[in-house]
Amino acid sequence: MTDSSTTPAALPDRGFAPTQRAGALVEALPYIQRFRGAVVVVKYGGNAMIDPSLATTFAEDIVLLRSVGLKPVVVHGGGPQIGELLGRLGKTSEFIDGLRVTDEETLDVVRMVLVGKVGREIVGAINIHGALAVGLSGEDGGLITAAPRAEALGFVGDVVSVQPGIIERLLAEDLIPVVSTIGSDGKGQAYNINADTVAGALAGALGAEKIIYLTDVPGLLTDVDDPTSIIARAEVADLEALITDGTITGGMIPKIRACIEAVRAGARSAHMLDGRIPHVLLLELFTDAGIGTMVTGPSNGGAIDDD
């Protein structure tokens, strides 16, 4: 006798016909084969981090990437969470050029939030699906050596060097590193480092196939008020020209600079995606259309990739 729970009629209706579901799997197959064994660095932040439903789908996507043979590395920020705790402590945040001025007390809060709270939450969300993720910071294993950016910013740092050995060992064990963006200098002084900067430097040091920045915009827009003005694909030189001639302005500049620097550091391509879209990682990596903006260097700019 047939178990009715396994018949097609008993399957939940998710709005897709079986042929559509099968078609999606077939479409994904060549991309899964192409990227098997590739390192993919994902910078996680923005609304994708603070919306519980998006946080759940993000964790599912990361586990799926690992399950089909990719090697994901998560780098996370935590600006809103840091600001919230500082406010609860009665401490006002001051920013210079978008960077949080970080005195000794603020640095303690930053480390507490990034390493002890946000990082642990991401690890926990991933590990619901198995013992897969390991949390660490740039201070661990000499991963990130930092230096102060400017005296006025206090303990805000720039990346001096990356020693990716600890990440490579975790990847070799089929684990998922989740990196908090704290680095330290040769004397053990810790520094708060911009997450976009850390992600780019780490992707370069690992020779990542891709670095993916999850943002709160659809991609690179030539007109920030017009979602249809998105640039789907560009080379580094093209973007430099668009910055110089004023086409790219305002808040788009630091996002594009992060992509440019990641490619120059050694990542094969950089992607700016809208993290507010559920499963946006899968849409970019495993579908023919792709989504968002892809940035490449001149050596691979003409190659047919995943966009």
> What is the full DSSP assignment across 145-190?
EEEES-GGGBSEEEEEEE-THHHHHHHHTT-EEEEE-EEE-TT--E
Answer for the pair 269, 210: CB distance below 8 angstroms, yes or no: yes
- Rounded Cα distance, 231 and 241, in Å: 14
pLDDT of 133: 97
Alpha-carbon distances of 172 from 28, 67, 132, rounded to whole Å? 24, 14, 12
CA distance 82 to 72: 25
pLDDT at 166: 96
How far apart, in whole angstroms, are the C-alpha atoms of residue 50 and residue 114?
14
Nearest CA-CA partner of 212 in 35, 38, 42: 42
pLDDT at 298: 77
Q: What's the CA gap between 73 and 199, in Å, rounded?
A: 9
User: What pLDDT is attached to residue 164?
Assistant: 96
What is the pLDDT at residue 270?
Answer: 95
pLDDT reported for residue 299: 57
Going from the N-terminus, what domains does the chain have, and what CATH number goes with each? Answer: 37-42+69-208 (3.40.1160.10), 209-307 (3.40.1160.10)
Instruction: Give the C-alpha distances (Å, rounded to integers) separating 151 from 102, 133, 186, 195.
Output: 10, 36, 18, 20
**Predicted local distance difference test score (pLDDT) of residue 112:** 94
Contacts of 89 (CB under 8 A, 6+ apart): 109
Q: Report d(CA 140, CA 136) in Å as an integer.
A: 6
pLDDT in tens, the chain (307 residues): 434 333 333 334 445 466 666 777 788 888 888 999 999 999 998 777 888 899 999 999 999 999 999 999 999 989 889 999 999 999 988 988 888 999 999 999 999 999 999 999 999 999 999 999 999 999 999 999 999 999 999 999 999 999 999 999 999 999 999 999 999 999 999 999 999 999 999 999 999 999 999 988 888 888 878 888 888 899 999 999 988 988 887 777 888 888 999 999 999 999 999 999 999 999 899 987 778 899 998 755 433 344 4
